[in-house]
Structure 1
Amino acid sequence: MKGKITDGEARDRLIIWMRRRMEEFGISMEALSASIEHDRAHPPLYRDARAHEWNGLGDMPDWLLAAKNAGVSPDFFRIEADVKSPAATHVVDPRQLDLFDLA
């Protein structure tokens, strides 16, 4: 296995990289947590084939505006109410629970 990175080592490197980027851009754990909670409270209402999503808040994103200007109804991209987004149905792997544990 010379020269190969194990899954555990890759995970550790990714965590270090993420923490450094958060520090570089001034993203606190509180801000990250608040953003995640906001996303959970406002699930996406529209999705295209490239998995671009919009929850209906704020300005219409470029991908949806371009489709609308091309004559495609935004309702074409509407996510059905009974279909849950992958984020809402995602089960957290217990190995990831310490991902941002700063202790």
Structure 2
Amino acid sequence: MTANNEWAEAIRWIQAQMADYGLPMEELAAAGCFDPPPPPTPPPPVCYRDAAGQSWDGQGEMPDWLRRAVNAGQSVEFYRAG
């Protein structure tokens, strides 16, 4: 099925749902269905970076590249960005 066919099928499905539930466009608009999406949240700042450009924001589990370096005796602070 081509993209145009999929799009047309989706429109038909939406129109059928609107008819089944008695939803006019005005109610959908009032509910915010056509509002633009919120802007994406910026990524967290990089706290640690190695020479190869791998980075970690310091949140969550420590990445493998940094864990291997620490296990080999390197200080985490050695990789602190900034």
TM-score, normalised with respect to structure 1:
0.40
Partner of 1:51: 53
Q: How many residues are aligned here? A: 45
Matches of residues 8-23 of structure 1 in structure 2 within 5 Å? none
**CA radius of gyration, larger in:** 2
Q: What per-residue deviation string (whole Å, max 9, x for no partner) do you get for residues 3-26 of structure 1?
A: xxxxxxxxxxxxxxxxxxxxxxxx
Q: What per-residue deviation string (whole Å, max 9, x for no partner) do you get for residues 18-70 of structure 1?
A: xxxxxxxxxxxx6xx63xx240xx11000001100000010000000000000
Identity %: 44
Partner of 2:78: 76
Partner of 2:15: none
Matches of residues 52-67 of structure 1 in structure 2 within 5 Å? 52-67=54-69
TM-score, normalised with respect to structure 2:
0.50
CA distance in 1, matches of 2:51, 2:58: 17
CA RMSD of aligned residues (A): 1.4
Can you give the 5+ residue segments of structure 1 that lack an aligned partner in the other structure?
A: 1-29, 81-103
CA distance in 1, matches of 2:60, 2:72: 21
CA distance in 1, matches of 2:63, 2:74: 14
Q: Which runs of 4+ in 1 moved over 6 A?
A: none
Can you give the 5+ residue segments of structure 2 that lack an aligned partner in the other structure?
A: 1-36
